[in-house]
Amino acid sequence: MVPDRLLLEEPLRQQIDQLCATAHACYARGWVPATSGNFSVRWGSRIYITPTGLDKGTLTPDDLLEIDLDGAVLGGNGKPSAETSLHTVIYRDRAHARAILHVHTIWNTLLSGKFAESGKVTLRGYELLKGLSGVATHEHTERVPIIENTQDYASLAEKLKVVLQAHGETHGVLLSRHGLYTWGESVAEARRHLEALEFLFEVEGRQLFGHS
């Protein structure tokens, strides 16, 4: 990672340490299997992001790439992930976002597949919705939009931008049979959103896939 980590501001170093700890926790839960998933923090106009092909269970600060908001690599040794552009789109559209977490879980894969045509997963009536920033009641309805998965990342980035603008209140976006993107003002907030959304996906999923 460039510049020398010891030269980074202390609050940024703490965010980066929390990002690594979050990556390890996600790996332990089976949420980033087979080197999937990616994670980043933003600091001003700089982004620190996981490179492609890395086992997230072993992520260290030195593995991160430093990029700018256009995705240009400023430092670090790995190769950027094809999904780097999705991070920059989110940071541009969600000005308050300082951290982004992207995971592949059993339940987000199942739900994003089942509801791919309807274009969203709807979560309503659960106390745990209050784990989402700004949500004060279980009566809240969270609509998590689903974008059809594609390997055309330029097109995907474009669609993500449109979806983010059309759903200004959502705390996450699903890619069908692919995974979840969520974010927050800090790694801690992004992780809270991740845990809340994945919990609710499992609750919904067990009702849907357990019934005929």
Positions touching a second copy (CB under 8 A) are 29-30, 33-36, 55, 104, 106, 109-110, 113, 125-128, 130-131, 136-139, 149, 151, 175, 177-179, 188, 192-193, 195-196, 198-199, 202-203, 205-207, 209-212
Find the shortest distance in angstroms from Cβ 156 to a second copy: 11
C-alpha to C-alpha distances, 196 to 97, 201, 204, nearest whole angstrom: 17, 9, 12
Quickly count: other Cβ atoms within 10 Å of residue 115's Cβ. Answer: 18
Comparing CB distances to a second copy, the nearer of 29 and 79 is 29
The residue assigned the tokens 């594609």 is 150
Find the shortest distance in angstroms from Cβ 105 to a second copy: 9
Nearest one of 104, 105, 79 to 205, comparing CA atoms: 105
Comparing CB distances to a second copy, the nearer of 32 and 41 is 32
Find the shortest distance in angstroms from Cβ 99 to a second copy: 15
Comparing CB distances to a second copy, the nearer of 51 and 179 is 179
Comparing CB distances to a second copy, the nearer of 35 and 74 is 35
Find the shortest distance in angstroms from Cβ 168 to a second copy: 22
Helix 10-28 crosses helix 187-210 at what angle (to 10 degrees)?
A: 20
Q: Judge whether 183 and 193 are in contact, CB under 8 Å.
A: yes
Comparing CB distances to a second copy, the nearer of 75 and 113 is 113
Q: Judge whether 64 and 1 are in contact, CB under 8 Å.
A: yes
Find the shortest distance in angstroms from Cβ 88 to a second copy: 20
Q: Where are the alpha helices (DSSP H) in 29-172?
A: 84-93, 106-114, 153-166
Find the shortest distance in angstroms from Cβ 2 to a second copy: 25
In order, the DSSP letters of 99-126 are EEEEE--HHHHHHHHHTTTTTEEEEES-
Comparing CB distances to a second copy, the nearer of 66 and 83 is 83
